[in-house]
Amino acid sequence: MQPAGIGATDGFASPAGCKIARQNGEKSDPMALERIAVTGGNGALGDAIVRDLMADHEVTSLDITPGRPGVRSRYVDVLSLDALKSALERQDAIVHVAALLQPHDPRDKMFQVNALGTWNVLEAARDLGIRKIVMMSSECASGVISLWRSPPPCPDYLPIDEAHPLRPREPYGVSKQVGEITAQSYARDGGIQIVALRPTLIVMPGMASYIERVRAIDDPDLWSYVELADVVRAARLALGYQGPPFDVFYLSARDTFSPEETLTFMRRKFGRLPELRQPGLYADNPYAAIWDLRRTQTLLGLEPQSDWRRILADGPQRRTADGRP
């Protein structure tokens, strides 16, 4: 099941306690979005987004876990359409973060929460007239990286852009692909704009030891990463993005944290190199990311600041956890 590509035929565009510093040239929301709901707003990523948006918006966290101090929260299960409709009344926009993502989560429950939960959020938004949604998808929708460590298919080309075919094999990646397909259908129906973000592994504060450990092994995640602060900036930029009814963007650092050059480990892992569509990228930076960030930079306006060397220089902090979106 392959979603439509990003092209003119579909009307899409073409080619905690985390203080987020604004980048030069970044704009806050140009749309009049006073009230924003964040599903999964009590988790690590959701909480960082909530606290960033609270600076200039009325923000409500919707979650099934206890709320954080100082944050307006409501208990809401995304599997309950009625509860979502009640909680989302009078909201101007939604940032949909809620998901199950741990390998030990039951596979059927993961798919239900991630796929049906997304449908419920979109259905509630349409019924209530909410016209702006930002949703967290994942690099795992590509199939090149898998939560279950299943053998990945070799990408068709490098760097991988948003038009590359999606070939997930496991419930998490499939649920994220289904979420995007569902979002496309609502966008085509009219009256709503949806931006899907596909972060790579999100590096949370305190993950310096994780980076050191994974640099020493043959990482099945291909050493892809993005720092929490960049994902939070991307969510804010996506709220203000005035593009087509549906669009999608990869979020990644400009490089990997692999000790090997990118083309070297890609050839070793897949037995061959895929087509190089930007050979100059890897000539200029042999450690460049496997993801094409040109649309993220030029259309969304995000200039990634993620830097694993700075993370290691800062040293271990309080938390080490898998930050996959």
On average, the pLDDT of the chain sits at 89
Q: What share of the chain is helix, strand, coil (3-state, %, to 5)?
A: 35, 15, 50
Q: How far apart are CA 19 and CA 200, in angstroms?
A: 21
Instruction: Say whether the peptide bond before residue 155 is cis (omega within 30 degrees of 0).
Output: no
pLDDT for the residue 150:
77
Q: Which of 98, 114, 106 is nearest to 178 (CA)?
A: 114
**Least confident stretch, 166-170, 212-216, 313-317:** 313-317
Residue entry with tokens 């000790």: 259
pLDDT at 320: 36
- Give the tens place of pLDDT for each residue, 58-102: 999 999 999 888 999 999 999 999 999 999 999 999 999 999 999
Task: Please give the structure tokens belonging to residue 149.
Answer: 């460590």
Asked if residue 230 lies in contact with residue 251, where contact means CB atoms within 8 angstroms, the answer is yes
Residue 316, pLDDT score: 62
Predicted confidence band of residue 13 (pLDDT cuts 50, 70, 90)? very low
- CA separation for the pair 145, 102 (Å, rounded): 14
Label the pairing between strands 157-158 and 132-136.
unpaired
pTM above 0.85, yes or no: yes
Residue 8 has pLDDT above 50, yes or no: no
pLDDT band at 280 (very low <50, low <70, confident <90, very high): very high
> pLDDT > 70: what percent of the chain?
87
Catalytic site positions: 172
By the 8 A CB rule, do 77 and 69 touch? no
Task: Grade residue 32 by pLDDT with cuts at 50, 70 and 90.
Answer: confident
Q: What is the mean pLDDT of residues 148-164?
A: 92
pLDDT at 151 over 90: no
